[in-house]
Amino acid sequence: MLDPRDLPLSLYFDIPNGILQPAAATIVRTVGDLRGMFFNQAAVNAILASGDRPVYEIQNYPFLTTCSDMAVSVTRIFPGTVGGEYHMSKGHQHERDDQAEVYFCLQGSGYLLLDTMQGDFQAEAWKPGIITHIPAQWAHRVVNTGPDLLVYIGIYQVKAGHKYELVEKQGFQKVAVEQDGQPVLIPHPNRV
Ligand SMILES: [Fe+2]
């Protein structure tokens, strides 16, 4: 008798409405949640003084079977800037250093920033259809530099876990800022 957890299962992502069905969890991250991530703290404080606002939301669904733990997440980053720096995901490394991930850009434009936190850095220019393999140990952050939603899917194993310490402490080597209406990557002004 097959365990019900081992049956194939399909999800539906309602693209126009941005709803993953079924969704196990929806997380919203606001400017306040990301206060230490944006380099311009005065701009963060000014926004918070007049009311917080969402930067992105994540829906994820873990496919937990009797022997595997693949998961899918859909992230929607709203357009906008904080002190000239484009809206972005917090960014993380995986707790386990043998766990990679695949990201698939579905909508919008921007960058996937990749940083080993040990000197290596790479920025992948993103548009719909781009699929990027994120090797184990690379911190990853997505930046929305366009005028519309940026939407991407992540495929990973739950056991990978999330680690934020170095991202919070060091930041990424480069940040995406708006200059004359165009996105530009510049060295992180406050990089430790
Ligand atoms: Fe990840």
Give the per-residue pLDDT at 191.
79
Using one digit for the tens of pLDDT, what is the confidence trace for 64-122?
Answer: 999 999 999 999 999 999 999 999 999 999 999 999 999 999 999 999 999 999 999 99
Q: Are 59 and 74 in contact (CB under 8 A)?
A: yes
In one-letter notation, the amino acid at residue 3 is D
Tokens of 106: 């579905």
Q: How many residues does the chain have?
A: 192
Q: Read off the pLDDT of each residue in 138-159 and give the average, rounded to a whole number.
A: 98
Give the per-residue pLDDT at 114.
98
Question: From ligand 1's centre to the CA of 186, what distance in Å?
Answer: 23
Under the banding of pLDDT at 50, 70 and 90, the label for residue 168 is very high
Give the per-residue pLDDT at 94.
98
Write the DSSP assignment of 82-138 as a string of letters: ETTEEPB---BB-SSTT--EEEEEEES-EEEEEE-SSS-EEEEEE-TT-EEEE-TT-
Cα–Cα–Cα angle for 161, 140, 118, rounded to 5 degrees: 95
Question: From ligand 1's centre to the CA of 74, what distance in Å?
Answer: 12
Q: Read off the pLDDT of each residue in 157-171 and give the average, rounded to a whole number.
A: 96
Question: From ligand 1's centre to the CA of 94, what distance in Å?
Answer: 6
Mean pLDDT of all residues in the chain?
96
